[in-house]
Every structure is written in structure tokens, then in C-alpha cells.
């Protein structure tokens, strides 16, 4: 029989924060607002801790603890529970996973740390957190994307599914260009997937480059459908053209509006 949970006051100095925190930072303004609310109304929801040999391990309530410390409190109301590592992960996920200020990259880093700490499989962790295994795998994959894509996800400029499509482009210059276009014009994941498909279709097959040169000495590229986003109305533009791989600066020059005569 598991020990019952109990609610009591515990010293803040005996609370150890988790080494696997989902939040990478605390918003100072939000923390000040929470501290003001706690000062006038008290702590409405106790924090959640589990017992350790030298104190308590914080499972849920990092912001409340930080606010209490800023107010100079010596103790805080806590629910003390006896939880195994997976149960701790489940409680922390339930507390924090859907907060708006926690980014997909924060969630991904936390999930990987939980897999390493608990030594469970992805399927088992997904079951414990009550999330589809595909969602967990998709979040974990973001940690291996090129740094510009990770930064774009962290800043909220790209959704993980859009970044997943862009990560399939192995040419850094082309990926950088498409990433910039996706961010600037708010391209949908479906549009980005089509960009990637057209780019991959345009790539010269592996082998002798001379095989791709016609008798006139010109490099032969396949004719394919090119989809771009109109910088004026943001609608997709479709044309039958031969796709040329150019650097970012040249692409910008090609796409720049021509002066009106």
C-alpha cells in the first residue's frame, strides 16, 4: 500500500529543484505578478514534492517557490507524495507541458532527459505521459535539427512540423533560404513540404556531372513545377520552370521587384 499524500508546511531551504526542469527561464514580469498575488491572497495551490534523504525534491511549483523566496517566506505549503521516477515525470508533465511560455524545444529537451534518467523506452514514456508516440518522436527529432531550425522553433518562428520538412534539405544555403522565406511569409507546413519536394526533384542525380551536360555544353536540369510565395499577396505561385540552385543573395536579387518604368 502506497503512503498517503499529506499537505504541510516545509522550509524552502530544504527544497531541491529538479535537475530536469522543463522551464529554461522564468519571466520576471510574470514572477512579479505571481508574487503580488501570493502576497495578498496567499498560496492557493500547494507545490508538489517527494521525499529525499536530505530534504524534498520539487516536482511541480518552480514559479511558486521562486515567488515565495522573493517575498522572503521561510516556509511554503506543499503536498508531499512518494513517487517513483516515472510518476514524477507524469506529474511534472501534467503541471507544465501545456503552458504557453514553454517552447517545443524545452519540451523536447525535458523528454530526452527523462528517457536518460528513467531508462524507459519511448513507448513507455509516451504511455505514462498519455501522448501519442508520434508526437514524442517528433519532439525528440527537433533536437537533432540544424541550429538555425532549432533557434527558429525556440523563438516561435517555426512550428516543429514545418521545421521537420525543412530539415530534409541537406544543402545549407538552400535550407537557409527556404527557412527565411517560410518565416517572412508565414508559409504553411503543406507549402513548405511542396518546396522540399520540388527541391529534391530538381537535384542532379549522383554520378558523373558530365552526364548532365548536353551537346551545347549547357548543364541540363529537369523541368519541374516551381512553387513560391508572392511577396505581395502571400499566395502560392506555380510555374513550369527549370529550377536552378543559386545562393541566397542571388535568389533575393532574382525575386526583388523590378523598378516601374
115 neighbors 168 (Cβ within 8 angstroms): no
3-state SS assignment for residue 208: coil
Q: Hey, what's the cell of 204?
A: 542532379
Q: Residue 159, Cβ neighbours under 10 Å: how many?
A: 15
pLDDT of 225 reads 42
3-state SS assignment for residue 192: helix
Distance CA 74, CA 97 (A): 29
pLDDT of 221 reads 40
pLDDT of 249 reads 59
pLDDT of 157 reads 92
pLDDT of 231 reads 46
| Burial class for 189, CB neighbours closer than 10 Å (0-12, 13-18, 19+) | middle
Distance CA 87, CA 33 (A): 30
Residue 12, phi then psi, degrees to nearest 5: -60, -30
pLDDT of 226 reads 44
Please report, in tens digits, the pLDDT of each residue of the chain (261 residues total): 556 688 999 999 999 887 677 766 677 888 899 999 999 999 999 999 998 888 998 988 888 999 999 999 999 999 998 888 888 888 888 887 777 778 899 899 999 999 998 899 999 999 999 999 999 999 999 999 999 999 999 999 999 999 999 999 888 888 888 899 899 888 889 889 988 888 877 764 444 444 444 445 443 444 444 444 444 454 544 443 334 445 555 555 555 555 555
| Burial class for 66, CB neighbours closer than 10 Å (0-12, 13-18, 19+) | middle
76 neighbors 2 (Cβ within 8 angstroms): no
pLDDT of 3 reads 60
Q: What residues contact residue 167 under an 8 Å CB cut-off, 6+ apart?
A: 141, 145, 146, 149, 175
Domain-wise residue ranges, the chain: 6-101, 158-205+219-255
Top-level class of domain 6-101:
alpha beta
Amino acid at each position: 500500500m502506497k503512503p498517503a499524500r499529506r499537505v504541510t508546511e516545509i522550509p524552502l531551504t530544504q527544497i531541491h529543484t529538479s535537475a530536469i526542469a522543463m522551464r529554461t527561464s522564468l519571466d520576471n514580469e510574470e514572477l512579479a505578478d505571481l508574487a503580488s498575488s501570493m502576497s495578498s491572497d496567499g498560496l492557493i495551490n500547494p507545490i508538489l514534492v517527494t521525499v529525499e534523504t536530505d530534504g524534498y525534491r520539487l516536482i511541480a511549483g518552480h514559479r511558486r517557490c521562486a515567488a515565495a523566496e522573493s517575498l522572503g517566506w521561510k516556509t511554503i505549503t506543499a503536498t508531499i507524495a512518494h513517487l517513483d521516477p516515472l510518476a514524477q515525470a507524469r506529474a511534472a508533465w501534467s503541471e507544465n507541458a501545456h503552458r504557453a511560455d514553454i517552447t517545443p524545444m524545452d519540451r523536447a529537451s525535458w523528454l530526452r532527459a527523462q528517457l536518460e534518467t528513467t531508462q524507459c523506452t519511448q513507448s513507455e514514456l509516451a504511455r505514462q505521459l498519455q501522448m501519442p508516440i508520434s508526437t514524442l518522436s517528433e519532439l525528440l527529432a527537433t533536437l537533432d535539427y540544424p541550429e538555425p531550425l532549432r533557434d527558429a522553433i525556440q523563438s516561435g518562428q517555426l512550428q516543429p512540423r514545418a521545421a521537420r520538412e525543412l530539415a530534409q534539405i541537406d544543402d545549407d544555403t538552400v535550407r537557409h533560404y527556404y527557412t527565411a522565406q517560410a518565416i517572412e511569409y508565414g508559409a504553411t507546413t503543406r507549402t513548405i513540404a511542396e518546396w522540399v519536394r520540388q527541391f529534391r526533384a530538381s537535384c542532379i542525380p549522383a554520378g558523373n556531372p558530365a552526364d548532365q551536360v548536353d551537346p551545347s555544353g549547357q548543364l541540363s536540369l529537369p523541368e519541374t513545377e516551381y512553387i513560391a510565395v508572392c511577396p505581395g499577396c502571400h499566395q502560392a505561385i506555380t510555374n513550369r520552370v527549370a529550377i536552378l540552385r543559386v545562393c541566397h543573395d542571388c535568389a533575393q536579387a532574382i525575386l526583388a521587384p523590378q523598378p516601374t518604368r
